[in-house]
Structure 1
């Protein structure tokens, strides 16, 4: 199979809106996304982060830059404020090149976000 552009999803939550926890949970999520899918740094095209309205301490992209994503286009946006949505949630949409088929990608949902997509295989 030839390489194609694909999108990989992930999400996590923080227990408290602190810069340390946002950084740590964002790094853990990104690392799990890369490890679980065999993604290498040069495979990543760009990363979009969203955060719920109750996260103000730091941009999740800052954590990504701290662990070597500084040469990758990164952007943060505000998640929709939906009634009863998962609180203190950081979501990631990573665009990458891969030879994997779309149904072979393993999206990653950690912490309080684990139940957001219970339809996905481990």
Structure 2
């Protein structure tokens, strides 16, 4: 079965090191919470808000052992007035036997406001 796993995080400033570091932390938690292996990943899409351009968040995935062949793409998030600033969003498409309602979506830092219903789920795990 193919499932999508969502996640999001924020950074304090438009800094390549912080963008890569926070993206890596987010991806590693998604993987841990959902028992994902690199070979089970079809692709990873990463979007950033327009105020983040200091570096590619996809670089974080290349720092994780075993992720060499995982397809990843970065893109710009649509600009909606009043939306969360300095935000990095991840959509990981994986092959899994986990039921849809049992997928753990991960929201970190200020991004917990995006899906408070799912953020509380992450905190319980």
Give me the TM-score of the superposition, normalised by structure 2. Answer: 0.91
Pair 1:37-2:38 in alignment: no
Pair 1:96-2:94 in alignment: yes
Question: What is the aligned partner in structure 2 of residue 76 from structure 1?
Answer: 74
Report 1:43-122 matches (<5 A): 43-68=40-65, 69-120=67-118, 121-122=121-122
- Once superposed, what is the RMSD of the aligned Cα atoms? 0.9
> Residues 46-79 of structure 1: CA distance to partner in whole angstroms, max 9, x if unpaired?
0000000000111111111122422111111100
Alignment partners' CA distance in 2, 1:28 and 1:56: 19
The runs of at least 4 aligned residues of structure 1 exceeding 4 Å deviation read: none
Alignment partners' CA distance in 2, 1:99 and 1:91: 24
Aligned length: 119
> Residues 21-63 of structure 1: CA distance to partner in whole angstroms, max 9, x if unpaired?
0011000000000011111121111000000000011111111
Give me the TM-score of the superposition, normalised by structure 1. Answer: 0.94
SS in 1 for 2:95: strand
